[in-house]
Structure 1
């Protein structure tokens, strides 16, 4: 462990193609059907040891293909004839849990697997009924999952793999106690897979307490950020020039699908109203909305019936939208760690993307800080760029 919260990899073995991983045929069909052609860096390193049952700590950001890494491993490991929970995935937010379920079901499309989402804000009795019928994979938030274990609705006897996705986020949101409680109920032989963008002290406590001789895999920030993503800035000088700049961009480019990030919910509301008043078709999404409303919006956006989404950072973690070619940071993120989650959306798994940052005079030092932190260069946007 290095002092700056970065783990040191102790695993170098790589498998370069999915068809060299000895995966079930229906699973391979699901992988190719999902649109994957080649494994990402983390998939090349982590899937094989994960399938073999080793405990794994992977330091990887959103956009690296980490969800598919553990989803593929779970789908390879479970007994398809046993209609009991065999893998439990914990996630920090309802949205990430639902997105993970979609990935699991899409990859397992030819396997007839069952995967249930277990999150707050949903009907408890419906959840109990579904769990009692028997599901093979459960993905959920720690509070509701622990509640279901306590009610004996979620049976733990056959669980062989426990995945903690975005562990840093879960611990920072105060889920530590529930996570520890869940661990104490698990079978002793449980395999633990932990994924996290950062490695704070609390995560190391979890790893020493509950993991057995874990393999450590680091996917560096540079691998995540730069691949396939062109990063630009537009000098707007003052805050009140941003809106006109955005309208100019719209006139210059044919925007197939884009996400526009603002730092506050109020700004999201304001910008949505402004855009609509100029007859632009846009949707908005933020944390004040009911979860059903957010789900519907994401569904419309994924299907392409909604093309431009104005969002807060709620969307910047774990929402996988394949066809997004453009991300606009209307506001530069206040926290440099969030930058990667926002623009990682636009070039996932080598898909090309463009990120445009609106920069006021006050933002210049923040942009320099981001460039240094990610060891990258954000160029001024040329007039003749193709999006």
Structure 2
């Protein structure tokens, strides 16, 4: 969740966090209480179910049990769950269920903070909608503007993109918002963060890391959000995150979907306060590294 301070005001992050915590305890801010323990009981189209099962899902995760049905009912939904629990597939399923496939116009817009995350969402959307004939396109920086214009002009059902390129396509009137009925902000609190690495370089780095030809990826917090590389089993924090909330996002890159994962933190005396804050925030104890590191793996 993310908020914007009024223009000209001084934004107090701590005050915002306290207010959000207050809202979360209010009666109107309750979770949707309907739980579907099987995809078959969600009222989804047969061809969407085929795509879900073909993708490898057998039983919905906790967030999917609670998040897909209200999305399909057209309700406003805020999803919050641990990394690697299937949030992307949750909103993708909701979008695919509600699309009018006879209307080849953009009906759903998904915004993501990074190009890598946008392209990953596009991949999941295509896979789940494989039997539905869904047309999806990722509008991200560092790619051909003309190609974006050509594809959007030919018609798509869903656009996934980063804010800059999506705004550019709207400004050029290549992306027509008239028929958009679903809007998703993924990793909303990171939406206005940005990096400056050349797109081709980033693509090569991620491709090599996913394929295993590159065994180690050194990155910033920007890539700690949403990126799913299931083979990752070890995360090393060279520096502790300055915000306790980001700790879970970082270590969540390992141990995806029930797999075992290990996080190692480098901590100096100057970091002891932050380490204490992280432990208190998550109500956990972070143990010292054992003499034999292999015992962790």
For normalisation by structure 2, the TM-score amounts to 0.83
Change (3 A) 1:83 1:353: same
Alignment partner, residue 123 of structure 1: 144
Alignment partner, residue 55 of structure 1: 76
How big is each residue's C-alpha offset from its partner over 1:175-195, in whole Å with a ceiling of 9 and x where there is no partner?
Answer: xxxxxxxxxxxxxxxxxxxxx
Change (3 A) 1:162 1:288: closer
Alignment partner, residue 234 of structure 1: none
3-state SS of 1:5 partner: helix
Separation in 2, partners of 1:328, 1:106:
31
Aligned residues: 274
| Aligned 1:342-361 pairs, distance under 5 A | 342-361=250-269
Change (3 A) 1:337 1:145: same
Q: 4+ residue stretches of structure 1 with deviation over 6 A?
A: none
Task: Give the unaligned 5+ runs of structure 2.
Answer: 1-15
Change (3 A) 1:350 1:307: same
3-state SS of 1:88 partner: strand
Structure 1 residue 320 and structure 2 residue 228: aligned? yes
**Structure 1 residue 117, shift from structure 2 partner:** 1.0
Out of 70, 75, 78, the position equivalent to 2:96 is 75
Contact 1:63/1:341 (CA < 8 Å) preserved in 2? no
Alignment partner, residue 161 of structure 1: 182
Alignment partner, residue 286 of structure 2: 378
Separation in 1, partners of 2:88, 2:96:
12
Separation in 2, partners of 1:362, 1:43:
41
Alignment partner, residue 106 of structure 1: 127
Structure 1 residue 365 and structure 2 residue 273: aligned? yes
Structure 1 residue 94 and structure 2 residue 2: aligned? no
How big is each residue's C-alpha offset from its partner over 1:88-131, in whole Å with a ceiling of 9 and x where there is no partner?
Answer: 11122222211211121122233332111112332222211110
Task: Give the unaligned 5+ runs of structure 1.
Answer: 175-286
Alignment partner, residue 138 of structure 1: 159
How big is each residue's C-alpha offset from its partner over 1:114-151, in whole Å with a ceiling of 9 and x where there is no partner?
Answer: 11111233222221111000011101122322332232
3-state SS of 1:27 partner: helix
How big is each residue's C-alpha offset from its partner over 1:142-186, in whole Å with a ceiling of 9 and x where there is no partner?
Answer: 23223322322112232221112222222x549xxxxxxxxxxxx
Out of 60, 63, 87, the position equivalent to 1:39 is 60
| Higher share in strand | 1
Change (3 A) 1:173 1:2: closer
Task: Report the RMSD for the aligned CA atoms in angstroms.
Answer: 2.3
Separation in 2, partners of 1:35, 1:368:
39
3-state SS of 1:59 partner: coil
Change (3 A) 1:289 1:70: same
Contact 2:187/2:226 (CA < 8 Å) preserved in 1? no
Change (3 A) 1:3 1:289: closer
**Structure 1 residue 21, shift from structure 2 partner:** 1.5
Change (3 A) 1:168 1:51: same
**Structure 1 residue 361, shift from structure 2 partner:** 2.7
Alignment partner, residue 149 of structure 1: 170
Contact 1:40/1:349 (CA < 8 Å) preserved in 2? no
**Structure 1 residue 59, shift from structure 2 partner:** 3.5
For normalisation by structure 1, the TM-score amounts to 0.65
**Structure 1 residue 62, shift from structure 2 partner:** 4.2
Separation in 1, partners of 2:173, 2:196:
32
Contact 1:88/1:138 (CA < 8 Å) preserved in 2? yes
